[in-house]
Amino acid sequence: MISSESSLSVGEKISGKVKALFELLKFRLAALVAFSGAFGYSLGAEVLDWPKLILFCMAAIGITGAANIINQVIEKDLDKLMKRTSQRPLPSGRLSVDEAIVWAVILGVMAMYIFLVYFNLRAGLLSLLSLILYGFVYTPLKRVGPIAVFVGAIPGAFPPMIGWIAATNHFGLEPGILFAIQFFWQFPHFWAIAWVLDEDYKKAGFKLLPSKGGKDINTTIQIMIYTLFLLPVGWLPYYLGMTGINSAFVATLCGVLFLAQTFHLMRKCTDKTALQLMFGSFIYLPIVQIAFLLDKL
């Protein structure tokens, strides 16, 4: 009986570690990044190779997970200060920093191996650059000012571009346009999140909202301006012959609706309208990307 109880205790500990490692990965966020990358890969590929697409998704989740872990290691003490993050594996003590670093290295090495062996050097180097920018540049800048959002938007916009390059081994206007769409989308998306979580962010000293960090009309104007850019760039895949005109109309319609939400935020300047804009941003990107992909088929 004693041996059984001891074995169960060890099993529970192992189960707890595995659960904490999975949580550290931020799988839902990593899966969204992988979806965006898979969109770029599928759009660029002449013939869709499903086994390679699955490998690409594994690599995308791995490199994103490694970047997320680096972010959490650096911000371990700051995460303790915020209600939203205080129970994460590192601040709660469920994992040690050394365990997190080993997990990040495993994920990063696995991802780079897949990119370099099964795809190409360009895709691998861009993936590595995205990890460095997110983990070691964007993360410390979050306490400096809203410049962090601009820097973070660069690796945040890489996935569809990396996907295209992984499929074609070619960099040009096409992957650049995919980058541009996701780059401009990042600003209303992230500033809406920063607006909703502003009080929690301030506890850790994060300065992410524009207009001197104020939840005011000046911040909403900047959100609106970046959203406005989505209207013209949404047409560029059609002009470059990457997709058909139907998806251009879908992108325009979604862009107009997204822009309308920013005007609603400008009128109200409330957490509720910022939350609505945040959910609108989550809807906009996958709908537009799926429309582009379906229009290519």
What are the pLDDT digits (tens) for 44-80?
Answer: 999 999 999 999 999 999 999 999 999 999 999 999 9
pLDDT averaged over every residue in the chain: 94
Q: What percent of the chain has pLDDT over 90?
A: 90
How far from the centroid of its chain's Cα atoms is residue 99's Cα?
A: 24
Stretch among 7-11, 198-202, 219-223 having the lowest mean pLDDT? 7-11
Confidence of residue 2 (pLDDT cuts 50, 70, 90): very low
Structure tokens at 148: 């962090």
Mean pLDDT of the 82-87 span: 94
Distance (Å, rounded) from C-alpha 88 to C-alpha 180?
32
Give residue 9's pLDDT band: very low, low, confident or very high (50, 70, 90).
Answer: confident
130 to each of 63, 66, 83, 92, how far by Cα in Å? 9, 11, 28, 28
- Give residue 192's Cα distance to chain centre: 14
Mean pLDDT over residues 249-256, rounded? 97
Instruction: Give the pLDDT score at 6.
Output: 47
Q: pLDDT band for 279, please (50, 70, 90 cuts).
A: very high
* pLDDT of res. 133: 97
Residue type for position 164: W
Write out the chain in H/E/C secondary structure: CHHHHHHHHHHHHHHHHHHHHHHHHCHHHHHHHHHHHHHHHHHHCCCCCHHHHHHHHHHHHHHHHHHHHHHHHHCHHHHCCCCCCCCCCCCCCCCCHHHHHHHHHHHHHHHHHHHHHHCCHHHHHHHHHHHHHHHHHHHHHCCCCCHHHHHHHHHHCHHHHHHHHHHHCCCCHHHHHHHHHHHHHHHHHHHHHHHHCHHHHHHCCCCCCHHHHCCCHHHHHHHHHHHHCHHHHCCHHHHCCCCCHHHHHHHHHHHHHHHHHHHHHHHHCCHHHHHHHHHHHHHHHHHHHHHHHHHHC
Q: Are 135 and 86 within 8 A, CB to CB?
A: no
Q: Which of 5-19, 85-99, 111-125, 270-284 has the lowest mean pLDDT?
A: 5-19
Q: How confident is the model at residue 296 (pLDDT cuts 50, 70, 90)?
A: confident
Q: In this predicted structure, what is the pLDDT of residue 3?
A: 45
Q: Would you say residue 156 has pLDDT above 60?
A: yes
The arithmetic mean of pLDDT across residues 173-200, rounded, is 96
Ramachandran quadrant class, 272 (left: phi over 0; alpha: psi -120 to 50; beta: rest)? alpha
How far, CA to CA in Å, does 162 sit from each of 95, 190, 242, 276?
31, 21, 16, 30
